[in-house]
């Protein structure tokens, strides 16, 4: 089989590897579509993973072989699969904080989504794999994991009908979050970014207002749109430390800030008095949990999240390096990139 193997940011080799052998309870799938996630891009550009890694975790495919004892899946089944599985029994899992489980990050697909064939371990077969309905495409299936990640974040902020939401970052994740916020009956969705193409796209996905924060004063615009109150919820969907300070300015008293994108190590200053005086909540959200996948699938199947509109580019597996650098280029009009065999 062929895999796209990372060596350094300017060297992703399309090379031959052995098809993984599967054991009891495991499944071998042929990758049909794998989404290019923002974390994949930054792992390559920032070189935060070891050489010979195979990235990719937004996967859909066709079952090629089912191991002994597998009864739920058979050859030819169309499936989606996600890459991390909690233990369901530890201190965190007992409190439904599955992404904090020690086992969560230790589990993965073999070798990764950017490969022609993938071994799905037994834990994943049981907990993060599901069949795709006939009317759901492989590309929709590859979006189950990122939509599930967004749902995990939304569980923490409890949007009520009529709430206002500010999303900082109009990339692929921000545009999913716009659609979910609309589905949850948010009355007003404001999006901020510096990329004109992404801002234009955000309006297509249901944002009421798109603010170019490089050219406009975001705080003044937010206060004007909310009659001086600020927004009920701010979602930070771009990994820029200064956005946390910006979020603290824009959120209303009693509001919630969801930190969805990873910040780098550098610190940032925020007005600490707002925690006590205004009862502001700042909540982090990492990845998804197995109970988000079915809901994510339903949202894609029913068009709550429009996969076809989100996918702007498709690259073959042999051109993963080109796809990553294209998606990372701020001059390109790109939203969601899909990788196919």
Average pLDDT (18-36) is 98
DSSP three-state, residue 224 = helix
DSSP three-state, residue 233 = strand
Query: Does position 266 have pLDDT exceeding 80, yes or no?
Result: no
What confidence tens digit (pLDDT) does each residue in 237-263 have? Answer: 999 999 999 999 999 999 999 999 998
What per-residue confidence (pLDDT) applies to 268?
A: 83
Separation between Cα atoms, residue 132 and residue 81, nearest integer Å:
10
What per-residue confidence (pLDDT) applies to 321?
A: 97
Strand ranges across the sheet with 209-212:
209-212, 188-193, 164-168, 231-236, 251-259, 281-284
* High-pLDDT (> 90) share of the chain, %: 96
Average pLDDT (184-207) is 98
149-284 folds as: Rossmann fold (3.40.50)
C-beta of residue 209 within 8 angstroms of C-beta of residue 182: no
Q: Tell me the pLDDT band of 264, cut-offs 50, 70 and 90.
A: confident
Separation between Cα atoms, residue 246 and residue 238, nearest integer Å:
12
Mean pLDDT of the chain: 97
What CATH number was assigned to the domain covering residues 2-143+305-340? 3.90.180.10
Q: Tell me the pLDDT band of 332, cut-offs 50, 70 and 90.
A: very high
What per-residue confidence (pLDDT) applies to 20?
A: 97
Helix axes 218-225 and 242-250, enclosed angle (nearest 10): 30
Domain coordinates in residue numbering, the chain: 2-143+305-340, 149-284
Average pLDDT (65-74) is 98
What confidence tens digit (pLDDT) does each residue in 43-63 have? Answer: 999 999 999 999 999 999 999
What confidence tens digit (pLDDT) does each residue in 138-184 have? Answer: 999 999 999 999 999 999 999 999 999 999 999 999 999 999 999 99
Least confident stretch, 83-97, 174-188, 269-283: 269-283
Separation between Cα atoms, residue 272 and residue 8, nearest integer Å:
40
Q: Tell me the pLDDT band of 300, cut-offs 50, 70 and 90.
A: very high
Average pLDDT (114-124) is 98
What is the pTM assigned to this prediction? 0.96
Query: Does position 185 have pLDDT exceeding 90, yes or no?
Result: yes
Residue owning tokens 């939304």 = 154
What per-residue confidence (pLDDT) applies to 121?
A: 98
Average pLDDT (6-10) is 96
C-beta of residue 148 within 8 angstroms of C-beta of residue 185: no
């Amino acid at each position: 089989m062929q895999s796209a193997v990372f060596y350094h940011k300017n060297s992703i080799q399309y090379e031959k590897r052995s098809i993984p052998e599967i054991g009891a309870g495991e499944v071998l799938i042929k990758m049909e579509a794998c989404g290019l996630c923002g974390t994949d891009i930054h792992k390559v550009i920032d070189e935060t993973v070891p050489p010979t890694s195979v990235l990719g975790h937004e996967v859909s495919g066709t079952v090629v072989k089912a191991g002994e004892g597998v009864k739920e899946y058979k050859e030819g089944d169309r499936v989606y699969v996600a890459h991390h599985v909690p233990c369901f029994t530890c201190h965190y899992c007992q409190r439904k904080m599955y992404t904090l489980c020690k086992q969560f990050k230790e589990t993965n697909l073999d070798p990764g989504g950017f490969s022609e064939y993938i071994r799905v371990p037994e834990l994943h077969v049981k907990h993060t794999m599901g069949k795709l309905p006939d009317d759901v495409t492989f590309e929709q299936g590859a979006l189950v994991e990122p939509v599930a990640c967004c749902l995990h974040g939304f569980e923490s902020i409890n949007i009520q009908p009529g709430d206002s939401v500010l999303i900082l970052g109009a990339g692929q994740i921000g545009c999913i979050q716009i659609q979910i916020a609309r589905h949850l009956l948010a009355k007003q969705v404001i999006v901020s970014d510096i990329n004109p193409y992404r801002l234009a796209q955000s309006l297509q996905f249901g944002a009421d207002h798109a603010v170019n924060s490089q050219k406009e004063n975001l705080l003044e615009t937010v206060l004007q749109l909310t009659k001086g109150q600020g927004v009920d919820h701010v979602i930070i969907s771009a990994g820029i430390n200064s956005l946390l300070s910006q979020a603290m300015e824009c959120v209303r008293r009693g509001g919630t800030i969801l930190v969805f994108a990873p910040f780098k190590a550098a610190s940032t200053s925020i007005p600490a008095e707002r925690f006590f005086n205004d009862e502001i909540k700042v909540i982090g959200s990492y990845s998804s949990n197995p109970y988000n996948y079915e809901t994510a699938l339903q949202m894609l199947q029913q068009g709550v999240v429009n996969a076809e509109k989100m996918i702007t580019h498709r690259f073959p597996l042999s051109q993963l390096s080109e796809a990553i650098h294209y998606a990372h280029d701020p001059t390109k009009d790109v939203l969601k990139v899909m990788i196919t065999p």
